[in-house]
Amino acid sequence: MEKMDLKSLTLAEMTQWVSELGLKPFRAGQIFAWLYRPGFDDFARMTDIAKHVRALLAEKATISRLEAVKEERSTDGTVKFAFRLADGHLIESVLIPEEDRHTLCVSSQVGCAMGCNFCLTGTMGFKRNLTVAEIVGQVDSTLLWLQRQAGAGEGETSPRINNLVFMGMGEPLLNFDNLIRAIQILMEQRGHDFSGRRITVSTCGIVPKMKELGEKVPVNLAVSLHAADDETRDLLMPINRTYPLEELLRACREFPLPPRRRIMIEYAMLKGINDSAAAARLLVKKLHGIRCKINILPYNETPSFPYRRPDDETIEAFRQILRKAGHTTLLRTSRGADISAACGQLAGEKE
């Protein structure tokens, strides 16, 4: 019989599983608390659990672990990890350190089926969805790496990941069930204890799953918009032909936002494509009535695509139109571009 990977179970699922083994339900909480200690991988170390229970766990279960096969550091401090999965596929995660916090960009699929024609990940094609354990494992491995970098021993205080963004390889909402279960594990107090305010899920516009995401987990939503008209968005993002702009914007209006939160509208600026003053004014019009803030992303150029970054004056003029209309507008500074770790540049297997 195949062993159960305990990193694939939510606390509720683990409670059911231990009950089926004939164990008391409280054992689930004990096991769960051990699993998410940095570097934990041995049932024998569960010192508050009876030996016969540990032996049963070793017989029936396993604890998966992702190991980085490659680590690259940017001049700006960004670190990109390449993880090899059990079937040989590669995925990438990106750690973005800042003065007072660490943000981890997490992948949800091997490759991507969306085919956005300015994104390098899309050129990989779609291989498969990540399992729950593979999603959570990216966080586990990065936390262990941070602990080792800080020289902290087990039980000592070490740097933590403050924010998780599902903006890595793949479209998270097309791996919906595994995404939800992974987020539940990450938010569990006896696990990683992340607040929903610290987790952001990005989508290119999988309309049928957006409302359900907000109903199941209280996370932040980011929407990769990149154009305010269907013609331009059709050119850039094939998903727009399935879920056109008005359907996507309606889904944004219907998204169950917690109080005082806003949807993040992601807008990659491409020279001569979507960077005009007219495009900015149309964006203002289209976003009317949506509680949102806008994140402008000057395009990260790559030889694989013909698109170019607008000049700084064009970017600032675009931004000022949005700000004068009352929108909180952020200008994202590109991080990790020198190691192909910036937005749209993750493509592990092609590298």
Query: What integer pLDDT is reported at residue 289 of this predicted model?
Result: 92
Query: What integer pLDDT is reported at residue 347 of this predicted model?
Result: 53
Query: What integer pLDDT is reported at residue 62 of this predicted model?
Result: 96
90 DSSP 8-state letter: E
Q: Which CATH architecture has domain 69-339?
A: Alpha-Beta Barrel (3.20)
CATH 1.10.150.530 in the chain is located at: 4-62
92 is catalytic: yes
The answer for residues whose C-beta is within 8 angstroms of residue 208's C-beta and 6 or more apart is: none
Query: What integer pLDDT is reported at residue 351 of this predicted model?
Result: 47
| CATH fold label, 4-62 | DNA polymerase; domain 1 (1.10.150)
For residues 67-79, average pLDDT: 91
For residues 322-343, average pLDDT: 75
Query: What integer pLDDT is reported at residue 338 of this predicted model?
Result: 60
Q: What is the pLDDT of residues 121-150, one digit of tens each?
A: 878 889 999 999 999 999 999 999 998 887
The answer for residues whose C-beta is within 8 angstroms of residue 28's C-beta and 6 or more apart is: 11, 14, 15, 17, 18
- CB distance 105 to 93 below 8 Å: yes
Is the pLDDT assigned to residue 344 strictly greater than 70?
no
Query: What integer pLDDT is reported at residue 300 of this predicted model?
Result: 87
Query: What integer pLDDT is reported at residue 248 of this predicted model?
Result: 98
For residues 94-121, average pLDDT: 91
Q: Which contacts qualify for 114-117: CB closer than 8 Å, 24 or more apart? A: 114/171, 114/204, 114/237, 114/238, 114/239, 115/238, 116/204, 116/224, 116/236, 116/237, 116/238, 116/239, 116/344, 117/235, 117/236, 117/237, 117/238, 117/305
3-state helix, strand, coil in the chain (%, to 5): 40, 20, 40
For residues 195-215, average pLDDT: 97
Q: What is the pLDDT of residues 253-309, one digit of tens each?
A: 999 998 889 999 999 999 999 999 999 999 999 999 999 999 999 998 888 889 999
Query: What integer pLDDT is reported at residue 320 of this predicted model?
Result: 97
Cα–Cα distance between 211 and 190 in angstroms, integer? Answer: 27
pLDDT bucket at 159, cuts 50 / 70 / 90: confident
Catalytic residue among 116, 119, 292, 343: 343
DSSP string, 92-110: EEEEEE-SS-EEEE---EE
Query: What integer pLDDT is reported at residue 256 of this predicted model?
Result: 95
pLDDT bucket at 154, cuts 50 / 70 / 90: low
Catalytic residue among 67, 92, 119, 171: 92
* Higher local confidence (pLDDT), 148 or 95: 95
* Higher local confidence (pLDDT), 270 or 158: 270
For residues 50-64, average pLDDT: 95
Query: What integer pLDDT is reported at residue 150 of this predicted model?
Result: 79
Burial class (CB in 10 A: 0-12, 13-18, 19+), 349: middle
pTM: 0.92
Query: What integer pLDDT is reported at residue 276 of this predicted model?
Result: 97
Q: Which two tokens stand for residue 262?
A: 């806003």
CATH 3.20.20.70 in the chain is located at: 69-339
Cα–Cα distance between 213 and 201 in angstroms, integer? Answer: 9
119 is catalytic: no
Pairing type for strands 68-73 and 79-84 reads: antiparallel
